[in-house]
Chain A
Amino acid sequence: ETGVTQSPTHLIKTRGQQVTLRCSSQSGHNTVSWYQQALGQGPQFIFQYYREEENGRGNFPPRFSGLQFPNYSSELNVNALELDDSALYLCASSLTSGGVYNEQFFGPGTRLTVL
């Protein structure tokens, strides 16, 4: 069974640029959640995708957007990068099956640095 993978591992961008981060969910999972973890902080929920639709969103501006593909992999796009966007971006996959709680399995993250 393949776990959650993310690419790239590290990324350096400059202010104003755009970035795309990628996540492959664990086999059999249909839901992907994205989190931002700033230095010294806990992860903060960005949004969640279920069956290719956004299924919930945290307190992040619209320049943070996402996609989920038919194979349940996902992308996180950030436009007009700001210095404060520098963080570890975590992807987590889960199987939504009707219960309230569906365990999330995390990938290793993508470290984004904005200069």
Chain B
Amino acid sequence: AQSVTQLDSQVPVFEEAPVELRCNYSSSVSVYLFWYVQYPNQGLQLLLKYLSGSTLVKGINGFEAEFNKSQTSFHLRKPSVHISDTAEYFCAVILNSGYSTLTFGKGTMLLVSP
């Protein structure tokens, strides 16, 4: 079975600073990888996904992530954060063959302060 580890439960950062949210996964077979964002009292919104091809994936709101197969990581980055980026961020995986469902990490709360 696959699993996802998000190493930081909370990441405080100042506005306009860069940020990296870490995600590592474990799976015996190849996976697809995702980052979702959840704003307070809302559902999940897809930020970006890696299915195949270039390992650097660009998403919405200026976020990007890099798939590193050897390190089984999919870290999320943004070069300059805004107050409005304050939210919970979830990394998720799904197997890329056969029947599979999304497996989520526990989430990282990004707190952006002025």
User: Using a CB-CB cutoff of 8 Å, which residues 41-90 of chain B contact chain A?
Assistant: 41-46, 49, 51, 90
- Whether B94 is near chain A, meaning CB under 8 Å from some CB there, is yes
Of A13-21, A61-69, A71-79, A99-107, the stretch lying at the interface with chain B is A99-107
A-B CB pair tally, cutoff 8 Å: 54
Contact of A101 among B36, B51, B90 (CB under 8 A): B51
Q: Is B96 touching A100 in the complex (CB atoms < 8 A)? A: yes
Taken residue by residue from 92 to 112, chain A's Cβ proximity to chain B (1 for < 8 Å, 0 otherwise) reads as 100000001101101111000
Q: Count how many chain A residues have C-beta atoms less than 8 Å from C-beta atoms of the other chain.
A: 23
Q: Write the chain B residue with the least CB distance to A43.
A: B104
Q: Is A109 touching B43 in the complex (CB atoms < 8 A)? A: yes
Query: Once bound together, how far apart are the Cα atoms of A100 and B45, in whole Å?
Result: 20
Query: Once bound together, how far apart are the Cα atoms of A101 and B98, in whole Å?
Result: 10
Q: Count how many chain B residues have C-beta atoms less than 8 Å from C-beta atoms of the other chain.
A: 27
Q: Is B101 touching A4 in the complex (CB atoms < 8 A)? A: no
Q: Note all chain B residues with C-beta closer than 8 A to A108.
A: 41-43
Q: Is B43 touching A106 in the complex (CB atoms < 8 A)? A: yes
- Whether A28 is near chain B, meaning CB under 8 Å from some CB there, is no
Q: Write the chain B residue with the least CB distance to A57.
A: B101
Query: Once bound together, how far apart are the Cα atoms of A44 and B46, in whole Å?
Result: 17
Query: Once bound together, how far apart are the Cα atoms of A109 and B103, in whole Å?
Result: 18
- Whether A70 is near chain B, meaning CB under 8 Å from some CB there, is no
Q: Note all chain A residues with C-beta closer than 8 A to B101.
A: 33, 45, 48, 56, 58
Q: Is B104 touching A44 in the complex (CB atoms < 8 A)? A: yes
CB distance from B44 to the nearest CB of A (A): 4
CB distance from B67 to the nearest CB of A (A): 15
Question: Which 10 A-B pairs give the minimum distances between C-beta atoms?
Answer: A42-B104, A106-B43, A106-B44, A108-B43, A45-B101, A42-B106, A43-B104, A107-B43, A109-B43, A42-B107
Q: List 17 A-B contacts (CB under 8 A).
A: A33-B101, A40-B107, A42-B4, A42-B90, A42-B104, A42-B107, A43-B90, A45-B102, A56-B101, A92-B44, A100-B100, A103-B49, A106-B36, A106-B44, A106-B45, A108-B42, A108-B43
Chain A residues in the interface with B (C-beta under 8 A) = 4, 33, 35, 40-45, 48, 55-56, 58, 90, 92, 100-101, 103-104, 106-109
